Structure 1
Amino acid sequence: MALPLQGVRVLDLSHVIAGPMASFYLAQLGADVIKIESPAGGDVMRAAKSPADVAAGDTPSGFTALNAGKRSFSVDIRTPEGAAQVRALARTADVFIENFRPGVVARHGLDEAAIRAERPDIVYCSISAYGQLGEWSGRGAYDHVVQALTGMMMMSGDSADAPPLKVGFPVIDVAAGMLGALSVVSALFRRMHDGQGARIDTSMVQASLMLMYPNASTFLTHQVEPQRVGNRGYTGSPTADTYRCADGWLATAANTPAQFRKLTRVLGMEALCEDGEALDLAAFNAPGGGFVVARDLEGVRRRFREAFATRSAADMEAQLNAVGVAAARVRRLGEFLAEIDGGQQLPLPYRSYGEAGRGGTRTPGLGFRFLGEQMERPDGA
């Protein structure tokens, strides 16, 4: 198939994760991405080798996964000659991406005005920690720092007095990159109609708030702080929870009365559905459903903890899904990927990058596929 962004050229001055994730999506959708790297070692992710990468003598898998399908151009933008080379390349580009602190590229004559002078209809995308406006715009940040700032750390954990707990991977970096790619594609689509370029400002703070969008909206509307719920589900239903079983842990989500009835039937606890001291039966039996509301939340949770404690998490996962109740045994990432890799349970659109003879880098794909079509770059990268 013809990839949707074939014919689009992207000049990418970004580094580490957020910016490269944005240009990675554009590259994998067919754009010609030219990645500008410093002659002094290039993108810092080139040095972020895992023990497996070191043993194999490969380019770090994390770098390869984020930058597959791009062309690399080594130039020192801090020199007048290097900056002039980048401006010359910009004349042929449709998109310009950078993720330096605000003001840095301007010092080298690569700000929006300078690039637009070369290509008036350019889509110029800046990805930063705090955005291009405001007193904090000049601050630097990393993923866990923004998690701390925006309240994400204080939403994780089991109790109000527990220490802050970060999400265990760079979730904000990745989300900022995805927002960057979405905004660029939107701007390109609009340009097809009006011929105008765009100035895009997205940030890690904006990405964090979008990840917490329902909670952030509730606070802005009603000034209600989200409470820590640990491993319980967002709905607040008493069985949207995670339970210790005889052979591990199980997460369930029997949110609606219909799902709750099925769960209690599997566990032999059907009488709970008629217990007015444990549940709000008016809500439970109301036409149209809704979520299950507990009158005695801790008592209901205790009963289910006791019921699951003697059962197998693997058996419960199978039995509950068979009757239409969402449930999953808690797994490690590697355990999950090894379980589904090559199987039919969840055929992901896997992709491999790099030299096949040296093993290359395997990835779980782009997060979506065009059904019935092969979505591969012509160069296979």
Structure 2
Amino acid sequence: MSKPLEGVRVLDLSHVIAGPLASFYLAQLGAEVIKVEPPLAGEVLRSMKEGADTDTPTGFAALNAGKQSLALDIRSAQGAELLRTLAASADVFIENFRPGVVARHGLDYASIQAVKPDIVYCSISGFGQQGDWSQRGAYDHVVQALTGMMMMSGEGHDAPPLKVGFPVIDVAVGMLGALSIVSALHRRSRDGNGQYIDASMVQASLMLMYTNTCAYLTDGTPTRRVGNRGYTGSPAADTYPCADGWLAVAANTPAQFRKLAAVLGVEELCGDARALDLAAFNAPNGFVVPNDREYVAQRLRQAFAAHSAARLEERLSQVGVPAARVRKLEEFLDEADATGCVNLPDYRFHQGGGEVRTRGIGFHFDQDGGPSPDGAPALGEGTHAVLAEAGLDEASIAELERAGIIRTHAKAAAPQAS
């Protein structure tokens, strides 16, 4: 079975997480992705080895599985010209340098479009290609701070800002980049036109907070720090301490609240006018509206504290109330392995003498031929093949390597072998 993007060729100049994740999606969906890296040491994520003697550590390998590595110095005139030549056979071009950097090397959209008029060109940056802040450096937690995400996390007005515990914006802009590229490829197949895409971390952050952003822009509704409470505002959509841990529960509707109250033994709350807006509670549709939130929360805290989180998770799930004991990531992954509680893809990429294991790309196609087993390339592993296919003879490739403009895998591997 074929994959959706077979026949699509991608030149990827990106590094770290956001851009490489976008091209990782394309590679896993069948595209040929040529990762262009500096020939001396490759992209920076290769250096995060944690003591391992490899240039494909797990963090790098997971994001770059299924790609080729072209070790090419784009800062040299000859290297940039070579990349423009390769772009003539590409369908997609990705870069995530600071705006203006690729233009200095003649690799901006206009330059690539000159050799490939229908190119789909995606620039990923922190603040977008235009505007006074476009030249600012950007990292995930900095953009979280800038866009208000940090001040939506945590408890209370006076608590310090709290970042999301992983690079959520980097991941989001990578996903959005992949989506925009696939959309542009579909448009090109329909009408023959290429596309320039400006994807930024700021835009991705606002999409992650989309409903809050729209509420403020439309109605002037300010954001609130809700801690571990759910989005609807129900007092029973929260995270409560139990006898053996914490339980997140989402009893948003009156029907769910009644079931929760029955399991906890606090059925009297369902008719308590101090606790709840009974008119809203007895309406045919809607969410639970508290009259005295702290009173309801205190009653629920007392009830939850007398129960096991694990047992409550099971009982509430059985009666139709969403609930989950708070786990660490490793706990959940181990549980999924041991019990099959969730049907997750199991992607394993060959990497050296072992394998990199993942849980897929977020969705699964029944008719896509299954996951590719190819791992991430060593630095320069694809250089010779890519250039030979482009028409360069052995003497030309050898000369480029002597000049330090390219690096083939044999030379890249030599320091590790010594």
Q: Please classify the TM superposition score into its range, dividing by the shorter chain length.
A: over 0.9
Tell me, yes or no, if structure 1 residue 352 matches structure 2 residue 348. Answer: yes
Tell me, yes or no, if structure 1 residue 170 matches structure 2 residue 167. Answer: yes
Gaps of 5+ in 2: 377-418
Report deviation, 1:223.
1.8
Q: Name the CA distance, whole Å, in 1 between partners of 2:14 and 2:128.
A: 15
Report deviation, 1:354.
2.8
Which of 247, 256, 261 is equivalent to 1:264? 261
Match of 1:71 in 2: 68
The 1:251–1:198 alpha-carbon spacing in structure 2 relative to 1, beyond 3 Å, is same
1:251 counterpart SS class: strand
Match of 1:294 in 2: 290
Alignment of structure 1 residues 41-80 onto 2, 5 Å: 41-50=41-50, 54-55=51-52, 59-80=56-77
Match of 1:10 in 2: 10
Q: Name the CA distance, whole Å, in 1 between partners of 2:56 and 2:201.
A: 27
Aligned residue identity for 1:315: R
The 1:236–1:310 alpha-carbon spacing in structure 2 relative to 1, beyond 3 Å, is same
Tell me, yes or no, if structure 1 residue 185 matches structure 2 residue 182. Answer: yes
2:360 counterpart SS class: coil
Normalised by the length of structure 1, the TM-score is 0.96
Match of 1:367 in 2: 362
Match of 1:26 in 2: 26
Report deviation, 1:341.
1.6
Tell me, yes or no, if structure 1 residue 161 matches structure 2 residue 158. Answer: yes
* Range 366-375 or range 118-127, more displaced: 366-375
Aligned residue identity for 2:356: T
Q: What is the aligned length?
A: 376
Report deviation, 1:342.
5.2
Q: Name the CA distance, whole Å, in 1 between partners of 2:137 and 2:107.
A: 19
Alignment of structure 1 residues 239-250 onto 2, 5 Å: 239-250=236-247
Q: Name the CA distance, whole Å, in 1 between partners of 2:2 and 2:375.
A: 13
CA contact (8 A) 1:58 1:358 kept: no
Q: Name the CA distance, whole Å, in 1 between partners of 2:184 and 2:368.
A: 25
The 1:84–1:148 alpha-carbon spacing in structure 2 relative to 1, beyond 3 Å, is same
Q: Name the CA distance, whole Å, in 1 between partners of 2:259 and 2:338.
A: 32
Which of 330, 333, 356 is equivalent to 1:334? 330
Q: Name the CA distance, whole Å, in 2 between partners of 1:230 and 1:9.
A: 44
Aligned residue identity for 1:320: L
Aligned residue identity for 1:175: A
Report deviation, 1:358.
2.6
The 1:114–1:368 alpha-carbon spacing in structure 2 relative to 1, beyond 3 Å, is same
1:229 counterpart SS class: coil
Report deviation, 1:373.
5.6
1:354 counterpart SS class: strand
Deviations 1:284-316 (A, max 9, x none): 1112x2110000100000000010112100000
Report deviation, 1:327.
0.4
Report deviation, 1:343.
3.3
Deviations 1:132-185 (A, max 9, x none): 111111111100000000000000011111001000000000000000000000
Tell me, yes or no, if structure 1 residue 143 matches structure 2 residue 176. Answer: no
Report deviation, 1:85.
1.1
Aligned residue identity for 1:340: A
CA contact (8 A) 1:14 1:97 kept: yes
Which of 366, 372, 376 is equivalent to 2:371? 376
Alignment of structure 1 residues 114-125 onto 2, 5 Å: 114-125=111-122
Q: Name the CA distance, whole Å, in 2 between partners of 1:253 and 1:260.
A: 9
Q: Name the CA distance, whole Å, in 2 between partners of 1:34 and 1:58.
A: 17
CA contact (8 A) 1:144 1:170 kept: yes
Aligned residue identity for 2:255: A
Gaps of 5+ in 1: none
Aligned residue identity for 2:250: A
The 1:378–1:351 alpha-carbon spacing in structure 2 relative to 1, beyond 3 Å, is closer
CA contact (8 A) 1:3 1:377 kept: no
Match of 1:128 in 2: 125
Match of 1:218 in 2: 215
Tell me, yes or no, if structure 1 residue 107 matches structure 2 residue 107. Answer: no
Of all paired residues, the percent bearing the same amino acid is 68
Aligned residue identity for 1:136: W
Tell me, yes or no, if structure 1 residue 305 matches structure 2 residue 284. Answer: no
Report deviation, 1:271.
1.3
1:341 counterpart SS class: helix
Deviations 1:69-109 (A, max 9, x none): 00000001000011011101100000000000100000000
Moved segments of 4+, more than 4 Å:
55-58, 378-381
Deviations 1:333-354 (A, max 9, x none): 1111111025321121121113
Tell me, yes or no, if structure 1 residue 206 matches structure 2 residue 203. Answer: yes
Q: Name the CA distance, whole Å, in 1 between partners of 2:123 and 2:367.
A: 35
Match of 2:78 in 1: 81
1:272 counterpart SS class: helix
Normalised by the length of structure 2, the TM-score is 0.88
Aligned residue identity for 1:363: T
